[in-house]
């Protein structure tokens, strides 16, 4: 582990003073907290890259890789028996180390020119097999949902670190100041495990935190004027505020935070106009909505969110994270057939629609789509017909953003318990995602308590082979 | 850019320990041999090192802490010790690695090229055998002193003893006390000039916010500004330091540092109901001006130094603040994380060094050895989190035990009978909780407690917490199988209740820690080559002495020894660190700006002599903080105005005001903002201490619940730390979403309305919010605003009529917004809600009009378990006017679940309906029936809808509410009439339901508007009696007040 890279420290005030106090500096200040310049933001990629934005499809609760993308014929041969002694016993969340192996009831087929094995739970996505870079060897440190979801989002099993979306924004900035650069949309009102800190800014300034959009109604909390306040009245209030602030600021020009606050209110006002526009699906054709499965009750919710994700990316949002099964709904300690049948069905068509739509619009190359959960599930059964958590080997896939699809990367053992080939720990996955965005994760550091912090806690390596 | 270019560290700072002679060959070797050796090295050896090793072991990466780009590094080696012993290939780890003789230690590894050809291995061997010659490189010559540290490291200012300094003769008449001489000397050196003294208005606002975290009231301002006493300022400072408000403000700084929070921080994020006495302990310690050395000792080792004194024992909650996951099966991993967290925090907080870096390898920038990290950790390693202690004096405990024994004796038979019913079901569950752990943990947990060693006690303790969880959450009424057994249990319960009078009042649970016992668990550094046992010890670079540790019968005594060392008067680290923190909180920036990192990566001190001067005085004065506050605040430096723009010199040499040519402008902290909002709106509740309130309460923010996963939104938006790690410096961020919150959020709007209702006009509003009258220009601007919005600058004489007498009407902004039900009884997971009501409007967005609820609107915590019957809004995904029940509880997998159970029965506005929802967790569904009472002969509509939530619907913290949720939320409130409502435990049969409330005969709660209101019910409403829309002036005044609360002047001390 090496801690040898960091930026030159300086205070925000120095930075702005020396940069001059023109509008540019003020606008920058509006989007920067006190600490931001403390680790001079990069805002340009280190390396030319195709991917400009990310849509992360997070299946919360832990989707089974063994029943979807990681085909293990041996599992059904040994079903009912205990894990062979040749396998090291894992520590699992519910202690299901000794339970019999559970057969996979899916029908598997090879798809696309690459011949990817995909189960019948993802028949729509399977049509895009040649776009999918399927990584079979993912691994995480969190054996429970809290640690797992936190880890997949921030790289650490416990809270306090910035999330992947925050790092991406910190590295590349936002392409549209009137919208947040990092947006999160859930498929229900349930709370994602650990709550809002999954898309938090950790020790970075708040400007990098993810902003939750609701998929219906008002997209952002507090975006609507208070009841009874129309846009004119809001404008009057802001004008009064600006007038009072201008007088106050006039004799305090050296304090650029004061101007940043004026700008912050103006940006908020513009966001009030622009954000609803960005999520207005009435501008989309019926055919498009159908493509995403919005015409069917089972797929309508996630379809709608996938379509919103595309619109947000089109509008310059850097990082969109969609949660399926918010509140650990993919968790299936028992009755995995019922649980996963419903959830896979709810996301299969919408995801396929998203991939097709991005492709048709020529956006897929610039948009990295990521599918996965906080961990996979065990080959061992739980309560007869469920599976326990498996963070030691699971599948994620990526599409677009320049990755080479139609093939698999890494492998788990013959029962899908441990990643054995090209194991990619969450730190490696994060490094890889930044790499695909053109960022050298070892150079993207944020100075915190005297340490040059990186997303991977100095442990990750990008898996560059994904680019082919 | 900052004056310190840190990359230069790399060229001058060479990390070496135990480095001896540089010239590679033995003295006396002749030149030819030397040249030959160099040629051999350059031609044969260096290319191998470059090709095979550099990728992972040179200037950019140092895997395993090893570099091979200089012989010095090779001799020092990495995490596992020296890599090369010149002359001895057999003992050189490098050879072991490249030969692949040790399976766990093969270099280069398989995925980086694999084993080298034998010829190359032979060259390396030969090179080491002949003494590992390396060309001399003058620039990397390193002088090594005792213990393996370089001269440069030893001479680093922070490791030097605190110097006795005489204040320089500088500053002339400007000087008010010695602090100013140091400041003036530095300013003279840099040709900077101090700013004039702040006027009294600026000063009074500054000192109130600084010491109390609150704005001064108008009376307080007037008293100071008009005071002719030449000592008025000194007296004000003394008065504020003596007030209990001082502790409430300054405790916040300490709570940031110890990552204080009131919840576990993982999935369930369980509330820690007994942590708040620690917060009160900090407040009281500060108010009492407890010496800092004592304060430190109590927190690190209160259990060892005063085990019988609850007011000291609680200080060890300091050791309980790490996050905790209640259902983590990897008990070893969890304990390791907890210990790491404690060690890191202890290092940062008390010693001002980021120890975390040395967890895995010797610190790259500071002379902190990996061993030093583990030495520190060894002091803390014996800690055990205790759940079996109480915060009570021996006398209180004795009284409790005696009374408890009486109750136990009297109830032994009843309880035995209850146990006989529950044990056969409960015990297998407890056993299952145990068998979820790996075999080794099961073995140690099954051992009798007195047979466990220290580590076993710690780990088994974690396992037992999960077993205990089963017992604590066991619900006999759910788990007992037969109705007979349930009835029997209920009867026994009733029987037991009769003895309640005999039962003593429970003692306060102690959220504290002790050692696991007098023997400590082993602490070892694990490396690729094995384990090395580490005993407690201090930082090698300043103190190699062995700690004097005295074990007691129950404790190792280690933490006392650590605390004694940290609080030694000559400890140059801890003493400077606390004095610097005090300076930092007063000035907004420390003399060392990175207050928890005094190492090479931190900022160098701006006034090192001043720091030493204050430190010496502080220690000599008995470690009291109040005199230090006083000294700082009485200085001319502190009294400077912030309203001074940089002159040409300041702008050039010190734009960020490190040398204090003015007072630093600052934005208020999150808590200061919230408290100030409550103060100026006249709502601040001064109640001190005790359990925290939620964010809607009017108490000070230090008494607001701090849930790690569910922080108060306003406070978090204003940069309150999240509470996962120690925070030494807060951020001050400005974002559009923050602005949205402040402009459109309900909470701030409510404060603005309150403020508007208590001020007379523009002048008064300015005085209340900013503590000064408006300028003429401001008055004109404000009048212009009122005129434009309301057509007048004066209030209308009459206000909208109050129609609060109508008991059926539920209306926003009236005294009858919600009806709160006061009962401790729980409806359980099978219940029926019935009501007769009509609705006038639905929410224009997606909010749900609530008919009856037990819910706070949250979805992610145990407190938010609950349910709510209501009608959907305009933009709901369930379509408008749908009758739904929202439920929060545990689902099949025991995860916290939230679900909307929608009947798809859509009602019309303005019509009377008879609503019934029968909720059944065992039936896994909700049965809805809705009948239109205004349409004669209208059919009953009904629906049975599946529900995923399985339990705990009534286990949240909310009370039952008619017409809204547990907290005020206008869009979620009923807008219309509710004639009657009742809540009944169990599934009420069809024939027992009635659209005529007079026929209701049973229920946990029965309310009829026509009955006189009994004590079980209380109306809750808005105090703003006038409806805003009806009064344009009121509306405009509300807006004006809201704007004032958003101004920079309100948010900043500048």
DSSP label at residue A94: T
Where do we find the tokens 């066991």? B474
* pLDDT for B1042: 97
* pLDDT for B169: 96
Residues B824, B941, single domain; the answer is yes
Domains of chain A, each with CATH number or no CATH: 41-219+279-467 (3.40.720)
* Residue B486, φ and ψ in degrees, nearest 5: -60, -45
The number of angstroms, rounded, from the C-alpha of B291 to the middle of its chain's C-alpha atoms is 25
Q: Residue B785 is nearest to which of A193, A214, A236, comparing CB atoms?
A: A236
Q: Residue B645 is nearest to which of A29, A253, A327, comparing CB atoms?
A: A253
3-state secondary structure of A417: coil
* pLDDT for B1029: 59
CB burial of B305-340 (b: ≥16 within 10 Å; e: otherwise) equals: bebebbbbbbbbbbbbbbbbbbbbbbbbbbbebbbb
Question: What is the C-alpha separation between A456 and B631, in angstroms, rounded?
Answer: 45
| Closest-CA residue to B800 (of B785, B813, B788, B791) | B813
The model's confidence at residue B694, banded by pLDDT at 50, 70 and 90, is confident
Asked whether residue B942 carries a pLDDT value surpassing 70, the answer given is yes
Considering only CB atoms, which chain A residues are within 8 Å of B716? Answer: 206
* pLDDT for A256: 84
* pLDDT for B861: 79
| The length of chain B, given as a count of residues | 1054
Looking at the domain assignment, is residue B1030 inside a domain? no
Residues B859, B986, single domain; the answer is yes
* pLDDT for B842: 94
Q: Residue A244 is nearest to which of B4, B778, B895, comparing CB atoms?
A: B778
Question: What is the C-alpha separation between B745 and A223, in angstroms, rounded?
Answer: 9
Share of chain B above pLDDT 70, in %: 94
Mean pLDDT of chain B: 90
Q: How far is the alpha carbon of B340 from chain A, nearest alpha carbon, in Å?
A: 12
Mean pLDDT value across residues B667-691: 95
pLDDT tens sequence across B225-260? 999 999 999 999 999 999 999 999 999 999 999 999
A361-370, A387-396, B325-334, B400-409: range with lowest mean pLDDT: B325-334
B26 touches chain A (CB under 8 A): no
Spell out the residues 6+ positions from residue A293 whose beta carbon is closer than 8 angstroms to its own. Answer: A299, A300, A302, A303, A349, A350, A353
Query: In 10 A of CB B1029, how many CB atoms?
Result: 12
Looking at the domain assignment, is residue B878 inside a domain? yes
B924 touches chain A (CB under 8 A): no
Considering only CB atoms, which chain B residues are within 8 Å of A14? Answer: 1-2, 655-656
* pLDDT for A95: 85
Mean pLDDT of chain A: 88
Beta bridge partner(s), residue A182: A319
The model's confidence at residue A65, banded by pLDDT at 50, 70 and 90, is very high
Question: What is the C-alpha separation between A378 and B195, in angstroms, rounded?
Answer: 68
Looking at the domain assignment, is residue B313 inside a domain? no
Looking at the domain assignment, is residue B520 inside a domain? no
**In contact, B240 and B246? CB cutoff 8 Å:** yes
| Closest-CA residue to A315 (of A345, A372, A270, A378) | A270
* pLDDT for B143: 53
* pLDDT for B67: 79
Residues B814, B919, single domain; the answer is yes
Residues B1020, B1045, single domain; the answer is no
* pLDDT for B22: 33
Residues B833, B979, single domain; the answer is yes
Residues B848, B983, single domain; the answer is yes
* pLDDT for B391: 96
Asked whether residue A232 carries a pLDDT value surpassing 80, the answer given is yes
Looking at the domain assignment, is residue B620 inside a domain? no
Looking at the domain assignment, is residue B274 inside a domain? no
**In contact, A330 and A63? CB cutoff 8 Å:** yes
Considering only CB atoms, which chain A residues are within 8 Å of B603? Answer: 9
Asked whether residue B145 carries a pLDDT value surpassing 70, the answer given is no
The two tokens of residue B717 are 């938006």
* pLDDT for A2: 32
* pLDDT for B222: 95
Residues B699, B836, single domain; the answer is no
* pLDDT for B717: 87
Residue of higher predicted confidence among B717 and B383? B383
Asked whether residue B994 carries a pLDDT value surpassing 80, the answer given is yes
- CB-CB under 8 Å, B348 with A14: no
The model's confidence at residue B144, banded by pLDDT at 50, 70 and 90, is low
Q: How many domains does chain B have?
A: 4
The Cβ-side half-sphere exposure at B344, using a 13 Å CA radius, reads 19
Residues B721, B816, single domain; the answer is no
* pLDDT for B672: 98
pLDDT tens sequence across A272-292? 999 998 999 999 999 999 999
* pLDDT for A12: 37
* pLDDT for B339: 96
Residues B845, B736, single domain; the answer is no
Question: What is the C-alpha separation between A428 and A153, in angstroms, rounded?
Answer: 13
pLDDT tens sequence across B300-337? 999 999 999 999 999 999 999 999 999 899 999 999 99
Domain boundary among B155, B182, B204: B155
* pLDDT for B13: 29
Question: What is the C-alpha separation between B835 and B1008, in angstroms, rounded?
Answer: 10
Residues B865, B1009, single domain; the answer is yes
The CATH number that applies at residue B1006 is 2.60.120.200
Q: Residue B327 is nearest to which of A1, A144, A331, comparing CB atoms?
A: A144
Residues B13, B131, single domain; the answer is yes
* pLDDT for B24: 38
Task: Give the β-pairing of A53-59 and A367-372.
Answer: parallel
B6 touches chain A (CB under 8 A): yes
The two tokens of residue B855 are 């819910």
Helix/strand/coil percentages in chain A, nearest 5 = 40, 15, 45
Chosen for mutation from B322, B592, B731 (greatest number of chain A CBs closer than 10 Å) is B731
B354 touches chain A (CB under 8 A): yes
Mean pLDDT value across residues B597-625: 95
Residues B999, B1043, single domain; the answer is no
* pLDDT for B10: 30
pLDDT tens sequence across B157-201? 999 999 999 999 999 999 999 999 999 999 999 999 999 999 999
Asked whether residue B896 carries a pLDDT value surpassing 60, the answer given is yes
Looking at the domain assignment, is residue B491 inside a domain? yes
* pLDDT for B57: 83
Question: What is the C-alpha separation between A59 and A329, in angstroms, rounded?
Answer: 8
Q: Residue A91 is nearest to which of B438, B719, B1039, comparing CB atoms?
A: B438
Residues spanned by the domain of B135: 8-155
Domain boundary among B490, B507, B524: B507
Domain boundary among B87, B121, B155: B155
Asked whether residue B798 carries a pLDDT value surpassing 60, the answer given is no
Chosen for mutation from B263, B581, B724, B739 (greatest number of chain A CBs closer than 10 Å) is B739
Share of chain B above pLDDT 90, in %: 68
Looking at the domain assignment, is residue B114 inside a domain? yes
* pLDDT for A33: 37
Share of chain A above pLDDT 90, in %: 69
């Amino acid at each position: 582990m090496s801690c040898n890279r960091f930026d030159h420290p300086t205070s925000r005030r120095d930075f702005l003073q020396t940069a001059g106090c023109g509008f540019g500096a003020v606008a920058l200040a509006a989007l920067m907290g006190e600490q931001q310049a403390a680790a001079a933001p990069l805002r340009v990629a280190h390396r030319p890259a195709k991917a400009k934005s990310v849509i992360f499809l997070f299946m919360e609760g832990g989707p089974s890789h063994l029943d979807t993308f990681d085909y293990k014929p041996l599992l059904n041969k040994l079903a009912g028996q205990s894990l062979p002694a040749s396998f090291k016993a894992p520590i699992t969340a519910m202690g299901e180390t000794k339970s019999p192996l559970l057969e996979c009831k899916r029908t598997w087929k090879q798809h696309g020119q690459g011949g990817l094995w995909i189960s019948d739970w993802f028949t729509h996505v399977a049509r895009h097999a040649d776009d999918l870079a399927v990584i079979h060897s993912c691994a995480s440190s969190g054996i429970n949902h809290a640690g797992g979801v936190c880890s997949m989002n921030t790289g650490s099993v416990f809270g306090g670190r910035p999330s992947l979306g925050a790092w991406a924004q910190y590295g590349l900035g936002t392409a549209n100041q009137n919208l947040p650069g990092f947006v999160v949309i859930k498929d229900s009102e349930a709370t994602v495990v650990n709550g809002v800190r999954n898309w938090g800014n950790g020790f970075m300034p708040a400007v990098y935190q993810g902003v939750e959009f609701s998929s219906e109604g008002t997209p952002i909390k507090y975006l609507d004027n208070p009841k009874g306040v129309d846009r004119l009245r809001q404008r009057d209030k802001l004008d009064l505020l600006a007038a009072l602030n201008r007088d106050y600021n006039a004799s305090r020009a050296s304090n650029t935070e004061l101007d940043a606050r004026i700008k912050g209110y103006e940006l908020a006002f513009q966001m009030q106009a622009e954000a609803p526009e960005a999520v207005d699906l009435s501008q989309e054709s019926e055919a498009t909505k159908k493509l995403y499965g919005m015409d069917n009750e089972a797929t309508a919710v996630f379809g709608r969110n996938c379509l919103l994700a595309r619109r947000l990316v089109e509008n310059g949002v850097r990082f969109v994270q969609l949660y399926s099964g918010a509140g650990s709904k993919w968790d299936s300690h028992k009755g995995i057939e019922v649980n996963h049948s419903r959830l896979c069905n709810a996301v299969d068509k919408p995801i396929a629609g998203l991939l097709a739509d991005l492709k048709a619009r020529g956006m897929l190359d610039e948009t990295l789509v990521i599918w996965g959960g906080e961990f996979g599930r065990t080959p061992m059964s739980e309560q007869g017909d469920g599976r326990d958590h498996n963070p030691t080997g699971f599948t994620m896939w990526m599409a677009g953003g320049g990755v080479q699809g139609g093939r698999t990367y890494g492998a788990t053992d013959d029962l899908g318990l441990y990643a054995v080939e090209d194991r990619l720990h969450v730190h490696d996955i994060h490094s890889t995602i930044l790499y695909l965005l053109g960022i050298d994760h070892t150079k993207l550091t944020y100075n915190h308590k005297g340490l040059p912090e990186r997303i991977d806690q100095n442990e990750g390596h990008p898996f560059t082979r994904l680019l082919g | 850019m900052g004056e310190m270019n840190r990359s230069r560290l790399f060229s001058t700072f060479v990390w070496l320990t135990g480095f001896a002679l540089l010239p590679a060959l033995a003295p006396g070797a002749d030149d030819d041999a030397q040249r030959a050796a160099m040629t051999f090295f350059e031609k044969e050896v260096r290319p191998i090192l470059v090709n095979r090793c550099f990728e992972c072991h040179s200037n950019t990466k140092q895997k395993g802490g090893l570099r091979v780009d200089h012989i010095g590094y090779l001799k020092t080696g990495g995490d596992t010790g020296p890599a090369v012993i010149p002359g001895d290939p057999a003992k050189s780890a490098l050879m072991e690695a490249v030969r692949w003789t040790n399976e766990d230690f093969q270099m280069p590894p398989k995925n980086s090229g694999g084993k080298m050809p034998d010829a190359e291995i032979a060259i390396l061997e030969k090179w080491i055998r002949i003494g590992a010659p390396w060309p001399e490189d003058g620039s990397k010559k390193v002088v090594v002193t005792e213990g393996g540290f370089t001269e440069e490291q030893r001479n680093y200012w922070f490791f030097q003893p605190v110097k006795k300094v005489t204040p320089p003769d500088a500053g002339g008449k400007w000087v008010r006390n010695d602090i100013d001489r140091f400041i003036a000397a530095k300013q003279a050196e840099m040709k900077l000039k101090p700013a004039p003294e702040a006027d009294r208005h600026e000063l009074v606002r500054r000192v109130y916010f600084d010491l109390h975290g609150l704005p001064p009231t108008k009376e307080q301002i007037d008293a100071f500004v008009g005071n002719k006493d030449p000592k008025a300022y000194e007296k004000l400072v003394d008065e504020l330091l003596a007030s209990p408000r001082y502790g409430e403000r300054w405790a916040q700084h300490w709570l940031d540092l110890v990552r204080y929070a009131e919840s576990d921080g993982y999935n369930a994020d369980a509330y820690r109901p007994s942590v708040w006495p620690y917060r009160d302990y900090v407040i009281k310690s500060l108010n009492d001006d407890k010496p800092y050395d004592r304060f430190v000792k109590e927190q690190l080792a209160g259990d060892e130094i005063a085990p019988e004194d609850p007011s000291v024992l609680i200080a060890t909650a300091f050791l309980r603040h790490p996050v905790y996951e209640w259902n983590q099966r990897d008990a070893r991993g969890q304990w390791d994380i907890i210990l790491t967290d404690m060690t890191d925090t202890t290092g940062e907080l008390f010693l001002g060094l980021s120890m975390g870096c040395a967890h895995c390898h010797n610190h790259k920038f500071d002379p902190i050895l990996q061993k030093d990290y583990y030495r520190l950790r060894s002091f803390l390693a014996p800690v055990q989190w205790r759940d079996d202690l109480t915060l009570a004096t021996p006398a209180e405990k004795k009284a409790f035990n005696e009374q408890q024994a009486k109750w136990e004796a009297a109830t032994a038979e009843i309880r035995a009978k209850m146990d006989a019913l529950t044990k056969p079901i409960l015990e297998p569950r407890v056993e299952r909780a145990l068998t979820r752990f790996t075999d080794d943990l099961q073995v140690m947990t099954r051992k009798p407690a007195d047979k466990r060693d220290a580590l076993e006690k710690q780990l088994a303790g974690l396992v037992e917490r999960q077993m205990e969880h089963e017992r604590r959450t066991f619900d006999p009424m759910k788990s007992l199988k037969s109705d007979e057994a349930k009835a029997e249990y209920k009867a026994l319960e009733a029987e037991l209740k009769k003895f309640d009078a005999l039962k003593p009042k429970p003692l306060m649970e102690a959220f504290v820690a002790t050692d696991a016992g007098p023997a400590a668990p082993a602490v070892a550094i694990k490396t690729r080559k094995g384990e090395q046992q580490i005993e407690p010890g201090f930082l090698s670079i300043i103190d190699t002495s062995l700690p004097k540790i005295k074990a007691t019968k129950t404790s190792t005594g280690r933490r006392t020894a650590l605390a004694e060392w940290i609080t030694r008067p000559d400890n140059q680290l801890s003493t400077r660190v606390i004095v610097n923190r005090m300076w930092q909180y007063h000035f907004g920036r420390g003399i060392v700006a990175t207050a928890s990192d005094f190492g090479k990566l931190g900022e160098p001190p701006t006034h090192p002599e001043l720091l030493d001067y204050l430190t010496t005085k502080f220690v000599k004065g008995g470690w009291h903080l109040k005199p230090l506050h006083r000294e700082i605040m009485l200085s001319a430096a502190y009294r400077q105005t912030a309203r001074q723009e940089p002159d040409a010199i300041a702008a050039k040499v010190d734009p960020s005001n490190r040398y204090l040519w003015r007072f630093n402008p600052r934005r208020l902290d999150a808590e200061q903002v919230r408290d100030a909002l409550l103060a100026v709106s006249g709502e601040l509740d001064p109640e001190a201490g005790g359990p925290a309130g939620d964010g809607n309460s009017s108490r000070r923010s230090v008494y607001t619940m701090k849930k790690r996963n569910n922080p108060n939104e306003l406070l978090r938006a204003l940069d309150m730390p999240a509470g996962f790690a120690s925070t030494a410096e807060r951020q001050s961020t400005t974002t559009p979403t923050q602005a949205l919150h402040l402009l459109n959020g309900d909470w701030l709007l409510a404060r603005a309305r309150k403020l508007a209702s208590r001020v007379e006009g523009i002048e008064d509003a300015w005085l209340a919010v900013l503590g000064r009258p408006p300028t003429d220009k401001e008055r004109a601007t404000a009048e212009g605003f009122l005129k434009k919005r309301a057509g007048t600058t004066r209030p209308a004489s009459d206000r909208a009529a109050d129609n609060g007498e109508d008991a059926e009407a539920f209306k926003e902004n009236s005294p009858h917004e919600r009806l709160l039900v006061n009962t401790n009884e729980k409806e359980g997971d099978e219940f029926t809600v019935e009501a007769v009501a009509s609705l006038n409007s639905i929410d224009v967005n997606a909010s749900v009009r609530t008919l009856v609820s037990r819910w706070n609107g949250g979805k992610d915590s145990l407190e938010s378990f609950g349910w709510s019957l209501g009608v959907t809004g305009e933009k709901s995904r369930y379509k408008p006017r749908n009758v739904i029940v929202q439920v929060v509880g545990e689902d099949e997998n025991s995860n916290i679940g939230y679900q909307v159970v929608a009947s798809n029965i859509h009602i019309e506005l303005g019509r009377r309906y008879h609503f019934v929802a029968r909720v059944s967790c065992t039936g896994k569904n909700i049965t809805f029936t809705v009948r239109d009472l205004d349409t004669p002969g209208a059919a009953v509509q009904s629906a049975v809808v599946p529900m995923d939530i399985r339990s705990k619907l009534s286990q949240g913290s909310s009370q039952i509410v008619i017409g809204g949720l547990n907290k005020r939320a206008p869009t979620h409130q009923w807008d219309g009439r509710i004639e009657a409502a009742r809540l009944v435990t169990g599934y009420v049969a069809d024939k027992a339901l009635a659209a005529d409330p007079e026929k209701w005969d049973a229920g946990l709660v029965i309310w009829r508007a026509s009955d006189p209101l009994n004590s079980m019910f209380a109306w809750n409403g808005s105090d703003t009696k006038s409806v805003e829309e009806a009064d344009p002036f009121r509306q405009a005044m509300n807006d004006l007040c809201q704007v004032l609360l958003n101004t920079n002047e309100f948010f900043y001390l500048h």
